[in-house]
Amino acid sequence: MVDTGASYTWVLRTRLEHLGIRSVRRMQFRTIEGHTIERDLAPVFVATDGFTGGDNVVMAEPGDMEVMGAHTLESLGVTVDHVGKKLVPGVGLALTAIE
């Protein structure tokens, strides 16, 4: 599931560890109810629908939802077509020198 309101992508820890992916640090997150929780982050390469990019994902624990967040969408260079319910190529933003 894609959640454009979520900053990070959340993938179950067991799924990531099965792939040999390990955490590199912990980070705090605020839940929708206002609670603060801590989860591990892991660097990964994400591939979906022909797009590939590198990102840090949250190692979700049992009870956490798995979602693809905004950082991953940007890493993949895609945006969401809400009507067609699919990922489509996006246009990146660039800061160029003024001549």
Return the closest-CA partner of residue 27 out of 69, 57, 72. 57
- The residue extents of the domains of the chain are 10-89
Work out the percent of the chain whose per-residue pLDDT is above 90: 75
| Sign of the Cα pseudo-torsion (26, 31, 34, 35, in order) | negative
Task: Give the Cα separation of 74 and 92 in Å (integer).
Answer: 8
**What's the pLDDT band for 99 if we cut at 50, 70, 90?**
low
* For range 34-48, the mean pLDDT: 95
Give me 72's structure tokens: 């991953």
CB 35 within 8 A of CB 41: no
**What's the pLDDT band for 28 if we cut at 50, 70, 90?**
very high
* For range 88-98, the mean pLDDT: 82
Task: Give the Cα separation of 28 and 80 in Å (integer).
Answer: 27
Give me 82's structure tokens: 């809400």
Give me 96's structure tokens: 């160029």
pLDDT beyond 80 at 98 = no
Continuous H helices in the chain: 13-18, 70-76
Please give the pLDDT value at position 93. Answer: 80
